[in-house]
């Protein structure tokens, strides 16, 4: 059983009526935004369960757009996320899937189209108190919350890749709290999720990316003060 913190009980500082339906949804979208490779031109949200039934009344639609725009949960612009999205030229659409029953009730799929023509698809679930879990990246099942300093690495599933990653972090005195590898099948696309006790230097990320079989490495920064609109 997961231990409860004071933030699970009283919830986060935020704008909106529900920590699950606003703050949690915003955090999922914020992670999706950071994992997109280029400038985001369009986004499609597929909502499941409770999200699908109540997303307008609970402000989930605004929260999801706000996360894509780089706003934090306390940002007053969240209330006018539709206006800001249209002003930025962001195309968006919402689809409700009320047929699928085997997912967490606060689940959303986010498909992001960037200026290179690539589409990045993220699945996340909001689990209460403003917390969330990412469950899929581009169809590959993963599992991370973004509560630690988190590095998401996209790679070829080959021998030696994980050793290279851990050595790079060791060279910069970064202590790894958790390291998890997720893959579709042997030798195919894989994701390594690294969660650490301290901040991961950009220089360490650059060294990790020096390996030819590592395609992308993204540092997740969920502190809204550190976000910007560079992806839009």
**Order of strands, sheet of 214-220, starting from the edge strand that comes earlier in the sequence:** 176-183, 189-196, 149-156, 214-220
Alpha helices (H) along the chain: 6-10, 24-35, 49-54, 60-69, 81-88, 161-171, 202-208
Crossing angle for the helix pair 24-35 and 60-69, nearest 10 degrees?
30
pLDDT over threshold 90, residue 134: yes
Contact call for residues 205 and 217 (beta carbons, < 8 A) = yes
**Residue 210's CB: how many other CB atoms inside 10 A?**
9
pLDDT at 165: 96
- Start-end of CATH 3.30.70.260 domains in the chain: 149-220
pLDDT at 18: 53
Q: What is the pTM of this model?
A: 0.85
Strand partners, 121: 111
pLDDT at 231: 64
17-138: CATH topology: 60s Ribosomal Protein L30; Chain: A; (3.30.1330)
Convert the pLDDT of each residue in 23-52 to its tens digit: 899 999 999 999 998 899 999 999 999 899
Convert the pLDDT of each residue in 169-198 to its tens digit: 999 999 999 999 999 888 789 999 999 988
Superfamily of 149-220 according to CATH? ACT domain (3.30.70.260)
The whole-chain average pLDDT of the chain stands at 86
- Start-end of CATH 3.30.1330.90 domains in the chain: 17-138
Non-local (6+) Cβ contacts of 210 within 8 A are none
3-state SS track over 164-229: HHHHHHHHCCCCEEEEEEEECCCCCEEEEEEEECCCCCHHHHHHHCCCCCEEEEEEECCCHHHCCC
Alpha-carbon radius of gyration of the chain: 17
CA-to-CA distance for 232 and 229, rounded, in angstroms? Answer: 6
Convert the pLDDT of each residue in 8-30 to its tens digit: 433 444 444 455 568 899 999 99
> How sure is the predictor about 89, in pLDDT bands with cuts at 50, 70 and 90?
very high
Residues 32-65, buried b or exposed e (16+ Cβ, 10 A)?
bbbbbbeebbebbbbbbbbbbebbeebbbbbbbb
> How sure is the predictor about 95, in pLDDT bands with cuts at 50, 70 and 90?
very high
Nearest to 67 by CA among 96, 98, 108, 104: 108
């Amino acid at each position: 059983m997961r231990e409860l913190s004071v933030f699970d009980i009283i919830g986060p500082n935020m704008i909106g009526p529900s920590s699950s339906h606003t703050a949690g949804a915003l955090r999922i979208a914020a992670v999706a935004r950071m994992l997109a490779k280029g400038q985001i031109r369009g986004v499609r949200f597929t909502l499941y369960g409770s999200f699908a039934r109540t997303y307008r009344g609970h402000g989930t639609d605004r929260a999801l757009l706000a996360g894509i725009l780089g706003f934090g949960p306390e940002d007053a612009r969240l209330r006018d996320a539709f206006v800001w999205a249209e002003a930025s030229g962001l195309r968006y659409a919402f689809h409700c899937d009320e047929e699928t029953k085997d997912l967490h009730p606060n689940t959303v799929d986010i498909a992001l189209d960037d200026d290179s023509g690539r589409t990045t698809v993220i699945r996340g679930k909001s689990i209460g108190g403003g917390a969330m879990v990412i469950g899929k990246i581009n169809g590959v099942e993963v599992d991370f919350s973004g509560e630690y300093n988190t590095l998401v690495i996209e790679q070829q599933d080959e021998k030696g890749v994980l050793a290279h990653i851990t050595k790079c972090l060791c060279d910069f005195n970064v202590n790894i709290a958790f390291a998890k590898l997720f893959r579709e099948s042997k030798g195919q696309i894989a994701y390594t999720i690294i969660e650490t006790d301290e901040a991961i230097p950009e220089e360490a990320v650059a060294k990790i990316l020096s390996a030819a079989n590592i395609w992308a490495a993204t540092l997740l920064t969920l502190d809204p003060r550190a976000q910007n609109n560079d992806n839009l």
